[in-house]
Amino acid sequence: MTTATLRDAVDPDSHREGQRDALARAGAAMSLLSALVAAWLHVKPHTRGLTANLLGYGLKVLGGALSPVVAVMGLLGAAVSRRAGRPVPALLGGLGAVLATRYVHRVSSELRVVPEREALPSTHDLPVLKRRWRVGQVVQRPSPRFLRDLVYASVPGAGQGETRDLLCDLWIPAGTVQRSGLGVIYLHGGAWQSFDKDVTTRPFFRHLAAQGHVVMDVAYRLAHETDMAGMLGDVKRAIAWLRANARRLGIAADRIVVSGGSAGGHLALMAAYTPSDSAFAPPEVAMVDTSVCGVFAFYPVADLRTLAHHWSQQAMNPLMHAAGRAFGYFTREGYLRWGELVRRLFGKPEGAAGDQLLAYSPVAHAGGHCPPTLILQGDHDHVVPLDDVRALHRSLVQSGCAATLVELPQVEHAFDLFARQLSPPAQAALYDVDRFLAQLM
């Protein structure tokens, strides 16, 4: 028998007191953490760029996704602290629970949708989200077929006579699922210089495939390999490939939707808005129809000209840089600052690239020819300027395009990539994506 066990046996009151103290400390910790995270969800950051405050950004994104847990944690902390006779932690826990609950309610119930989305057509019996938020409602079954690393195009490689294969993944609905006829192309984010296909997107693609949509997850070349014209050319190649293979994939060639997040959202909008413009198409697809029937974008860059005033010029956080390189998402040269990236993408310094920055901005191509557009944007996003997205939406509407802007209150950049079965912002956006795609069928 140890000394502590012997003491507890002789003095059971001391043992119970120790348990109460441990429980009180746990309650105080839960209360404090809940209050801090929930309060931070209500603060709009004023930092410039993703690298300016990595910890604050991560807390905002993950805290938003896990906000229901934050609310429950606050309630538990408050209850435990009150039982332990600790009034201050009890108040903090209650505050955290209230603020987190308010966040969940605002994100899932008070979306500023312009214009209001129409109801889901009654003729479509699809497994779409029934509410803007409910735990576990993102559909994942039946499991689709997953075809990985298919070649959708080949381009000249780094060496003379070499070729570079461009790869994609396909998500094909299970045989028991009725096909919708839609093909959805998805372009990942990463500031045109990092990340890859198949990064935290599998639950999203399973959900779309369960509705009968075929998903093409595209790996386009990044800034260490090509310029902005090359990236957009890769997207046009992907559209051409999906059109050419539409029949055997069970989709309609005129029912292709292009989508993406952040830099991928920018490329998706550019591809959708310049379908017949040979200036933005590689030679091999210049005569191919690359039009799409719709485009949806999560927090897309709408105007490249404003990023000089918004994007941080600081170096990448060393910890994030090391992690990105370890997982293969960043190249050896690391994460380029905006001025360096402009030189890489357009071949000239930022001050001399004004015409190209405008030419490759979706806002410059908004017009009546644009397909139906859905944009999903957090109003606390400190990576993509909200005013630019609003300006793009206004231009689309004024030109007669069917465009919808969904602004999610208190929501940061990349809000849709984590904990979709629990996340209020991810589900609130997916709710509108479901309906947008259903109206294109």
Q: Residue ranges of the domains in the chain?
A: 3-109, 113-438
- The whole-number pLDDT of residue 75 equals 96
HSE (side-chain half, CA atoms, 13 Å) at 324: 19
Q: Do the Cβ atoms of 267 and 259 come closer than 8 Å? A: no
- The whole-number pLDDT of residue 162 equals 86
- How many angstroms separate the CA atoms of 157 and 225, rounded? 9
- The whole-number pLDDT of residue 309 equals 73
The stretch 92-106 carries a mean pLDDT of 96
- How many angstroms separate the CA atoms of 38 and 18, rounded? 30
Which residues in 66-89 are b (16+ Cβ under 10 Å) and which e?
A: bbbebbbbbbbbbbbbbebebeeb
- How many angstroms separate the CA atoms of 438 and 125, rounded? 10
Q: Do the Cβ atoms of 283 and 249 come closer than 8 Å? A: no
Question: What pLDDT digit, counting tens, does each position of 197-254 carry?
Answer: 999 999 999 999 999 999 999 999 999 999 999 999 999 999 999 999 999 999 999 9
> How sure is the predictor about 123, in pLDDT bands with cuts at 50, 70 and 90?
very low
Which pair of structure tokens corresponds to residue 105? 């309610």
Instruction: Name the strand (E) or helix (H) holding 143.
Output: none
Least confident range of 25-29, 254-258, 318-322: 318-322
Q: Is 213 left (phi over 0), alpha (psi -120 to 50) or beta?
A: beta
Q: Provide the sign of the torsion angle of the four alpha carbons 266, 270, 271, 273, taken in this order.
A: positive
- Give the CA radius of gyration of the chain: 24
Q: Where are the alpha helices (DSSP H) in 123-227?
A: 202-210
Q: Provide the sign of the torsion angle of the four alpha carbons 326, 329, 332, 337, taken in this order.
A: negative
Q: Are strands 163-172 and 145-156 parallel, antiparallel or unpaired?
A: antiparallel
Q: Is the peptide bond before 173 cis (omega within 30 degrees of 0)?
A: no
| Helix-helix angle 87-109:12-41, to 10 degrees | 40
Quickly count: other Cβ atoms within 10 Å of residue 316's Cβ: 20
- The whole-number pLDDT of residue 107 equals 95
Question: What pLDDT digit, counting tens, does each position of 356-386 carry?
Answer: 999 999 999 999 999 999 999 999 998 898 9
Q: Is 125 left (phi over 0), alpha (psi -120 to 50) or beta?
A: beta
Determine what percent of the chain is predicted with pLDDT higher than 70: 85
For residue 1, pLDDT beyond 60: no
- How many angstroms separate the CA atoms of 72 and 65, rounded? 14
DSSP label at 50? G
Burial level of 178, CB count in 10 A (0-12/13-18/19+)? exposed
Least confident range of 23-32, 84-93, 123-132, 276-285: 123-132
DSSP label at 142? S
- How many angstroms separate the CA atoms of 142 and 35, rounded? 39
Q: Is 400 left (phi over 0), alpha (psi -120 to 50) or beta?
A: left
- The whole-number pLDDT of residue 49 equals 46
More confident residue, 49 or 187: 187
DSSP string, 348-385: S-GGG-HHHHHHTSGGGG-STTSPPEEEEEETT-SSS-
Mean pLDDT of the chain: 89
CA dihedral (309, 310, 315, 316) in degrees, to 10, reads -160
Which numeric CATH code is attached to 113-438? 3.40.50.1820
For residue 317, pLDDT beyond 70: no
Q: Which residue has the tokens 């309060």?
A: 39
